[in-house]
Homo-oligomer: A and B are copies of this chain.
Amino acid sequence: MRKDKPLLLVSNDDGVNAKGIHELVKVLRSIGNVIVVAPDGPRSGSSSAITSANPLSFNLVKQEDGLSVYKCSGTPVDCIKLALHTIVPRKPDIVIGGINHGDNSSINVHYSGTMGLVIEGCLKGIPSVGFSLCDHGLDADFSFSLPYIDKIVRVVLLKGLPVGNCLNVNFPAKTKMKGVRICRQTKALWVNEFVEREHPHGGHYYWMTGDFMDIEQDAEDTDRWALQHDYVAITPVQIDVTAYALFEELKKWDLNV
């Protein structure tokens, strides 16, 4: 690897063979040296899950000039942890997740394996960015998001991000985007979350599905509003989840025994 180029660590939650990560890597190779450590299959909805009860392994699947691709048996967060512990030659300049097949805006940030790995990079003190396209299709068209990804990654490499902060970038599934908006996480609710099926041998089983219910449709500062109006939604995310606003109230409560 040439030392003068930035080092980009890349993973996702759709697996090493997903179209989204291939499209992402094509853009990133023009920016620096790329190391991909991605799950060996789909891990959607992994959140920040880690694997401690089973051993983990990884294998090199491709090595070209400026690009190494590994597949890993674990979750997206496992991939980042293993990469940082034993694969990368030095601390990466940036951790990048995606491009996710599907929307990670609003409360989806909590379930997203893509954002899980981005938060892991952030916890390790590395500027980290997750990219997602609001299209679940295996063959989704990522092309219109690529110029934005190129721009955002270059700017973050140049300016850095404050420790404890990372970016959740979501693209509308549109051929024409109106530009970027800095957004807050939309309040929302998943409803009708299961489809019930009768088991041929007795009993029932349940498939997770669900309808996304917007609670604040007219709030123009939210990531959902931006996406619904054809903007790229950039939601800055922090790893300190303390609810400071609750301190004074809680301190008044008598909770001692």
CB-CB under 8 A from A196, the residues of chain B are 86
| Copies, count | 2
Q: Known contacts A107-B123, A124-B189, A148-B255; is A48 also within 8 Å of B48 by CB?
A: yes
A151 CB–B CB distance under 8 Å: yes
- Shortest CB-to-CB span from A100 to chain B, Å, is 14
A46 to B111, CA, bound (A): 11
Stretch at the interface among A1-9, A17-25, A62-70, A205-213: A205-213
Contact pattern, A 88-114, Cβ under 8 Å of B = 1, otherwise 0: 000000000000000000010111010
Contacting pair A45 B49 (CB below 8 A): yes
A29 CB–B CB distance under 8 Å: no
Among B187, B208, B239, contact of A52 (Cβ-Cβ < 8 Å): B208
Q: How many residues of A contact B (CB 8 A)?
A: 84
A208 to B51, CA, bound (A): 7
Binding site for B on A (CB under 8 A): 42, 44-53, 55-57, 75, 77-78, 81-82, 85-86, 107, 109-111, 113, 116, 119, 123-125, 147-148, 150-152, 155, 159, 161-162, 164-165, 179-180, 182, 184-185, 187, 189-190, 193-194, 196-197, 199, 203-209, 232, 234-247, 250-251, 253-257
